[in-house]
Structure 1
Amino acid sequence: MMNSGRRVIGSEHVAETRAKGRVVMEIMPTDIVTAQAQETAARLGIKLVPGPLERPQVHKTDGATSLRRTLYRRSPRWIAPQRPKNGTASPIRKLALIGAGGVGANIGHLAANAGSADEIALIDVVPGLAASVALDLNHASGVSRSRSRASGGEDLSAVADADVVVVTAGRPRTPGMTRADLIDVNRRVIHTTAEAIRTKAPGAVVIVVTNPLDEMTVEMLRATEFPREQVLGMAGTLDSSRFRNALAMAAGVSSGDVEAITLGSHGDEMAPIVSRARIKGRPLDVFLDGKQIDACVKDAVTGGGQVVALRKTGSATIAPAHASIELIDHIRGARTGPVPASVMLDGEFGISGVVLGVPCHLGSNGLISVKELPLSRSELDALQAAAEAIRERLEA
């Protein structure tokens, strides 16, 4: 019974406390305890303690920890993936994109939205194409509030003083065509762009996207006469993304639960590294059988061809753009840790004198070092086979 904040504690209140599994009942200074309540408390083993009692501090848990515990209760096999920590990022002063088609335009869009560069210069031989993309990007800044300013034109002199140059120009594949079929026609494109880069932007880090990528990266190195640190090929980031996607789909998980890397060439000699791939922090065979893993490897190798077969008039544009931005992010310090890129090898993995996709540490001046991961014998053999295949194609 309540009256002006005072409680009359009866035997029924003590019994209720017992029913709740409690052994202590708080009695406030204004409470009236009946004789029947005291007898019931003694009989049931309930302590009548003068209050107010000190309340224990509530332990607060951050959202990430709570989510991890919930997911673990649902499936004890789940392990939170280790994410690379971001470094201190700074925008590139000037990013030049040679080629304003599907890949170049998407790189420009992603770079502008992320604030990756203060200035984005697009160049394309098709009259009006680069200028139209640049204008479109500037118009979008009214919504995105991007601080990047874009310009476009046909003259290669626009690469002047660029800090990073991404070369996407060249003929794309069509159905039935391999990347190697593009060597002769795209070699001329690379030599033309290399001359402009060498004379107008001698300090730039060059990222080659033009196919066949490994061979064209070699051509860019020869034509610019730059040190190997300044010329990178974008391939491993794209191929690794395709491999992670295939594994995620096969295992029925999110791509964020998968860590995997692909090395070797950007072609049939691609080497998805199965031994180091993980799903939710566990080896692949915890989730997939051998046939499923082999199918994922094949899907990564043929991923580009699948897009070409469906599109018929060109090759992939969105995934290569994201993969290029990943390299740019490592160069500008937005991401840290090793990332797969095609570089001229100088004894790493026992290979020299050929461009091959390997794990690299990158910085503002390009390649810092190659990280030699421990690989299985078959994976090392695959790298050696890729190196020999690239040498043969270039010599032919």
Structure 2
Amino acid sequence: MKVSIYGAGRVGISVAFSLLHYGIVDELVIVDIDKNRAEGEALDLLHASAVFKYCNIYAGKPEDTKDSDFIIITAGRAQRPGETRLELLADNVRIIKEISENIVRYSKDSLVINITNPVDVLTYFIWKFSGLHSSKVFGTGTTLDTARLRALLAKHLDISPASIHAYVIGEHGDSEFIPLSNAMVGGVPLTDFCEKCEKKAGDTIPCISFEKIANEVKTAAYKIIEKKGATNLAIGAVTAKLIDSIWKNERRVWTPSVYIEDVYIGYPAVLGRKGVEKVMHLTLEKDEQEKLEYSKAVIRRAIKEIEAAMLI
């Protein structure tokens, strides 16, 4: 399997390093505008591959991504002092446009996974610029948010996250939310599970409100960035597992950023070797559906701002 990663920053290299643990990649190409950094990271990863399955890892140019099975996009730049959010977003859209054109030129049969934020907006533009079918272009969406949710619930419910089926959906951002009506623990609705909880005051891990858990999930990235400057390890691990699952054709349900109606948004979907094979249809409560529509509106507004500013 061949994987090409655009971006040799923390996230891109975390994805690459996590992929080595699965032993499924034969060729790994790191593409970055800073060629020295890409070469240094590729060499470091190549040495690490000696204790995993050997993988041919090197820094390359866009043409070296030819015939990739997966294209991972983590490229983008940080906000400069005094710069507006729209100016930053417009610049990153230009970067995404160039990458999209290279994907069509060299590896149009690959599956494209975008991680660069704002992930839903930029995934939409990758799809638009590349002209690829929406089943082959998707973002990491709320997959990490969902993983965070299940990790927190597992801790507080004292049960394996593998037995928790709960999602975070919507924009990967402030308007994301947890549809509690669809949350299950071992086949039991989460709300019912908690009503019959036997924990008592004074327990080592007391019960916690859903609102508090939702807030912890939503603010997790801010806390991590405040303490270490960036989030990279968890998204690297989640993306690597996503690729492993797709390559093995597990047809597992994830919450990637997928095309629904006219936007890309985090929503449960079945991913397999063909990409997005099926978008699930959740039955939401009225207030949950309103939250989803609001989240779509937030993404649409950002897309329109960019299209107007760049005359796309």
* TM-score interval (norm. to shorter): 0.7 to 0.9
The answer to whether residue 29 in structure 2 is matched with residue 112 in structure 1 is no
**TM value normalised by structure 1:** 0.68
Identify which range, 103-112 or 287-296, moves more after superposition.
287-296
Instruction: Indicate conservation of the 8 Å contact 1:174/1:309, yes or no.
Output: no
Give the one of 282, 289, 295 matched to 1:386.
295
* Aligned partner (choices 213, 232, 236) of residue 317 of structure 1: 232
Query: What is the aligned length?
Result: 294
Percent sequence identity is 28
Shift of residue 301 of structure 1? Answer: 1.5
1:156-305 correspondence to structure 2 within 5 Å: 156-172=62-78, 182-285=88-191, 286-287=193-194, 292-305=209-222
Aligned partners of 1:264 and 1:383 also within 8 Å: yes
Task: Give the deviation of 1:253 after TM superposition.
Answer: 4.4
Structure 2 residue 260 is the aligned partner of structure 1 residue 328: no
SS at match of 1:294: helix
Measured in 2, the distance between the counterparts of 1:341 and 1:284 equals 22
Q: CA deviation at 1:120?
A: 0.8
Q: In the TM superposition, what whole-angstrom CA distance separates every residue of 1:172-209 from its partner, at most 9, and x where no partner exists?
A: 4799x998784223112111111111111111110000
Give 3-state SS (helix, strand or coil) of 2:35's partner: coil
Between 293-302 and 124-133, the greater mean CA deviation after superposition: 124-133
Whether the 8 Å CA contact 2:249–2:272 is kept in 1: the answer is: no
**What is the match of residue 84 of structure 1?**
none
CA distance in 2, matches of 1:331, 1:138: 24
Counterpart CA distance in 2 for 1:248 and 1:292 is 14
Q: Which amino acid aligns with 2:108?
A: P
Displacement of 1:250: 3.2
| Structure 2 match to 1:20 | none
Structure 1: 5+ residue stretches without partners: 1-92, 346-351
Q: Give me the TM-score of the superposition, normalised by structure 2.
A: 0.86
| Matched-pair contact (CA < 8 Å) for 1:361–1:367 | yes
- 2:30 counterpart SS class: strand
Q: Letter of the 1:136 partner, please give it.
A: D
Q: Residue 244 of structure 1: SS of its match in structure 2?
A: helix
Whole-Å separation in 2 of the counterparts to 1:127 and 1:96: 15
**Matched residue SS, 2:77:** coil
Displacement, 1:257?
4.5
Counterpart of 1:81?
none
What's the CA shift string for 1:63-97, capped at 9, x where partnerless? xxxxxxxxxxxxxxxxxxxxxxxxxxxxxx21101
Residue 182 of structure 1 contacts residue 211 of structure 1 at CA under 8 Å; is this kept in 2? no
- The structure with the largest alpha-carbon Rg is 1
What one-letter code is carried by the residue in structure 2 that aligns with 1:210?
T
Among 93, 101, 104, the residue aligned to 2:9: 101
> Once superposed, which parts of structure 1, at least 4 consecutive aligned residues long, lie more than 4 Å away?
172-175, 177-182, 288-291
Q: Which residue does 1:69 correspond to in 2? A: none
- Aligned residue type for 1:374: T
* Paired AA for residue 151 in structure 1: Y
Work out the CA distance in 2 between the residues paired with 1:239 and 1:120.
27
In structure 2, give the amino acid aligned to 1:364.
R
Change (3 A) 1:174 1:249: farther
Counterpart residue number, 1:147: 54
Deviations 1:3-32 (A, max 9, x none): xxxxxxxxxxxxxxxxxxxxxxxxxxxxxx
Tell me, in whole angstroms, the C-alpha distance in 1 between the residues paired with 2:15 and 2:88: 22
Equivalent-residue separation in structure 2 for 1:389 and 1:142 (angstroms): 46
Structure 2 residue ranges without an equivalent (≥5): 198-206, 306-312
1:371 aligns with 2:280: yes
The aligned amino acid for 1:234 is T
Q: Which residue of 2 aligns with 1:6?
A: none
Question: Which segment drifts farther, 240-249 or 95-104?
Answer: 240-249
State how far apart, in whole Å, the 2-side matches of 1:336 and 1:113 are. 21
Specify whether residues 369 and 258 from structure 1 end up closer, same or farther in structure 2 by C-alpha distance, changes over 3 A only: closer
RMSD over aligned Cα atoms:
2.6
Q: Is the 8 A contact 1:279 1:287 kept in 2?
A: no
Q: 1:327 corresponds to which letter in structure 2?
A: L
Larger relative contact order (CA 8 Å, sep ≥ 6): 2
- SS at the partner of 2:252? coil
Q: Structure 1 pair 256/366, CA: closer, same or farther in 2 (3 Å)? A: closer
- 1:192–1:382 distance in 2 versus 1, CA, 3 Å: same
- Could you say if the C-alpha distance between residues 211 and 179 of structure 1 is closer, same or farther in structure 2, counting changes exceeding 3 Å? farther
